[in-house]
Amino acid sequence: NAGVTQTPKFRILKIGQSMTLQCTQDMNHNYMYWYRQDPGMGLKLIYYSVGAGITDKGEVPNGYNVSRSTTEDFPLRLELAAPSQTSVYFCASSPRETAYEQYFGPGTRLTVT
């Protein structure tokens, strides 16, 4: 199993540009999550999904959108990039039950200038 994979690893965007961060997991997990980690801070939840076709907002959803058309993929969309979105983005997944661990991808480092 590859686990949770994310692309790209690094990206620099200009203000106002848009992009999609890709996340794929091959563990057949129903739950998937997007977090952002700002320097020296803990991770904060952006969006999550409990299964294909179902998404919900986390703590910091503004400026982002998600979709979940398949169990494996959970892309995160930035429509109008702003400097405040400079961060490291982590995708995670977990099995159906909340008692289980979350498994994280390697992250995408995004800089908006």
Partner 1 sequence: KQEVTQIPAALSVPEGENLVLNCSFTDSAIYNLQWFRQDPGKGLTSLLLIQSSQREQTSGRLNASLDKSSGRSTLYIAASQPGDSATYLCAVRQQTGANNLFFGTGTRLTVIP
* Site residues for partner 1 per CB under 8 A: 4, 31, 33, 40-45, 48, 50, 56, 58-59, 90, 92, 98-107, 109
Q: Which is nearer to partner 1, 46 or 78 (CB)?
A: 46
Which residues contact residue 89 at a Cβ distance below 8 angstroms, ignoring those fewer than 6 apart? 6, 21, 34, 35, 36, 37, 46, 76, 107, 108, 110
In whole angstroms, the minimum distance from the beta carbon of 76 to partner 1 comes to 15
In whole angstroms, the minimum distance from the beta carbon of 7 to partner 1 comes to 13
Q: Which is nearer to partner 1, 85 or 107 (CB)?
A: 107
Closest C-alpha to 89, from 52, 43, 41: 43
Q: Which is nearer to partner 1, 18 or 62 (CB)?
A: 62
In whole angstroms, the minimum distance from the beta carbon of 56 to partner 1 comes to 7
- Residue 31: how many CA atoms within 13 Å on its side-chain side? 13
